[in-house]
Amino acid sequence: MSDVTGRPLSTNEHDLIQAMIAVLPPKIADQLGCQLETAHTNDSASSLQLSLATSDDVERTDIKDGPIDVVARVFVNGDYQGELLVFVTAGKLSLLEYARVTDTKPTTLPHLESVQIEPV
């Protein structure tokens, strides 16, 4: 039985986070990947900021609190729209945020094919 409440992440939410952590050093990527497999959120699928909760049983990673060291730029039709950020708090995944720079608020998170990801 899981100790995490809320809804499971959508395929798109999961894939975005997975792609972002995949460019981190292997040990950190593995630890965050294990956390991701247990991640749930209480936020709606239309939210541009998802609070994340992971199982208490998964290993914490030893990185500083804040955004992970990844740049994930969002482009639509070649136009820069903003960035995705994944945050860690106390060694655990805690937030996925779409920091947009556009006047018009998107209704969903971008799809992976719209995101260019690289390590910092």
> By the 8 A CB rule, do 92 and 60 touch?
yes
Q: Read off the DSSP letter of residue 41.
A: E
- pLDDT tens per residue, range 52-105: 999 999 999 999 999 999 999 999 999 999 999 999 999 999 999 999 999 999
Q: Give per-residue pLDDT as tens, 7-42.
A: 999 999 999 999 999 999 999 999 999 999 999 999
Residue with tokens 């920091």: 99
Q: How far apart are CA 113 and CA 5, in angstroms?
A: 29
Residue boundaries of the structural domains of the chain: 7-119
- Please check whether residue 29 is in contact with residue 37, taking contact to mean a CB–CB distance below 8 angstroms: no
Would you mind telling me the total number of residues written for the chain in this entry? Answer: 120
3-state secondary structure of 44: coil
